[in-house]
Amino acid sequence: MWKQFLINFFSDKTKAKIGAIIGLVISIFILTIGFFKTLFIAICIFLGYYIGKKKDNGENVFEPFDKFIHGGWK
C-alpha cells in the first residue's frame, strides 16, 4: 500500500514535490534550531556536493582558488 502510494506520489511533477519536501524540512530546521544554524548546514551541504561533483568528474577541487591566489582572475 505505501509502496504504491509513494510510486504514484513521485511519478508526476516530481521536481515540484521534492522542492516542497525540501522546503518543509528547511522550515522545520529553521523553527527548531534557528536561521543561522540552518544556513550553516545548507552551506556545508552545498560545499560537500560541490567537492563531490568535482571529484567525480576528475577535476581539481581547488583550481578556482589557485587561479584567484596566483592572479589568474584580473
Which amino acid makes up residue 22? I
- Biggest CA-to-CA distance, the chain: 60
Residue with cell 516542497: 20
pTM reported for the whole predicted model: 0.62
pLDDT attached to residue 41:
93
pLDDT attached to residue 74:
55
Q: Is the pLDDT of residue 73 over 70?
A: no
Query: What are the C-alpha distances in Å from 26 to residues 13, 16, 61, 71?
Result: 20, 15, 27, 38
pLDDT attached to residue 29:
93
Within its chain, how far is the Cα of 23 from the centroid? 12
What's the pLDDT tens digit per position in 9-61? 777 777 777 788 889 999 999 999 999 999 999 999 998 888 888 888 888 87
